[in-house]
């Protein structure tokens, strides 16, 4: 990889700026000051420093975002703010949201350019748990819980035109919110269009507030506020089965 591309991938600056930075001696390769921005490096073994800070190479990038309401889970949109807009300070080239949250839904969203991980987390065959905090209009009945845990008809059809039930879910009652509305945790393994809202509607209820808390081993960081993000930690990557190298 060329040095200027490596530095660009770390958001050091534009190609023109990086050329100037190298000219001014701000970058070193294995302890020696770099003199040419187009010199080729081994990103896996060479030690690259900028202003004395070692820059590590990552083949893929992984960010945890607390998606706020009013933001769309898309890479581009003509009208609304996108989740990539919230990462404006990062190199977002190639990043995609892992799954989607409705515009009025908030919570955990993983953004990455690791397509294999996205497939693994989203495939219904992998049975990856997705936990949602759901505030409801009415107290959920035992009958509704039974229907949700067995699989419920939300209007989708299979290739033969037969009702395509949701996969069995789990329901955990969590008391009430500040307004006295019942709160549950709903654990599902799919990501159909408006799935959680449609499941509760089919069960005779209405979702008033929806927040995704986790996806597989990845849990929303309590220290993040809506709209904030951070890179995944080494431990989170390990739990996701990601081998950076």
Catalytic residues: 102
- In residues, how long is the chain? 245
Measured CA to CA, the distance from residue 7 to residue 4 in angstroms comes to 5
Measured CA to CA, the distance from residue 233 to residue 239 in angstroms comes to 10
Cα-based distances in Å from 222 to 43, 108, 110, 112, 217: 34, 10, 15, 20, 15
Q: What are 134's two structure tokens?
A: 């759901």
Count of CB atoms within 10 A of residue 158's CB? Answer: 9
Q: Which pairing describes strands 182-188 and 27-29: parallel, antiparallel, or unpaired?
A: unpaired
Q: Which of 127, 152, 130 is nearest to 205 (CA)?
A: 152
Q: Do the beta carbons of residue 90 and residue 63 sit within 8 Å?
A: yes
Q: CA quadruple 78, 84, 89, 91: dihedral positive or negative?
A: negative
């Amino acid at each position: 990889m060329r040095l200027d591309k490596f530095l660009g991938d770390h958001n050091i600056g534009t190609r023109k700026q990086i050329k100037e930075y190298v000219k001014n001696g701000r970058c070193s390769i294995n302890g020696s000051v770099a003199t040419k921005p187009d010199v080729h490096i081994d990103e896996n073994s060479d030690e690259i420093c900028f202003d004395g800070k070692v820059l590590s190479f990552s083949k893929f990038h992984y960010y945890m975002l607390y998606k706020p309401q009013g933001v769309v889970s898309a890479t581009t949109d003509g009208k609304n703010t996108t989740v990539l807009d919230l990462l404006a300070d990062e190199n977002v080239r190639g990043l995609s949201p892992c799954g989607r949250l409705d515009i009025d839904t908030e919570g955990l969203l993983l953004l990455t350019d690791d397509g294999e991980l996205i497939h693994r987390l989203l495939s219904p065959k992998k049975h990856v748990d997705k936990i949602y905090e759901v505030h409801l209009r009415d107290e959920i009945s035992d009958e509704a819980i039974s229907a949700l845990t067995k699989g419920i008809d939300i209007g989708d059809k299979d290739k033969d035109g037969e009702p395509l039930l949701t996969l069995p879910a789990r329901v955990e009652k969590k008391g009430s919110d500040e307004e006295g509305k019942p709160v549950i945790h709903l654990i599902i393994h799919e990501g159909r269009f408006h799935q959680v809202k449609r499941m509760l509607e089919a069960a005779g209820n209405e979702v008033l507030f929806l927040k995704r808390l986790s996806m597989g081993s990845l849990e929303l960081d309590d220290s993040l506020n809506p709209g904030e993000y951070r890179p995944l930690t080494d431990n989170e990557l390990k739990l996701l089965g990601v081998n950076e190298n």
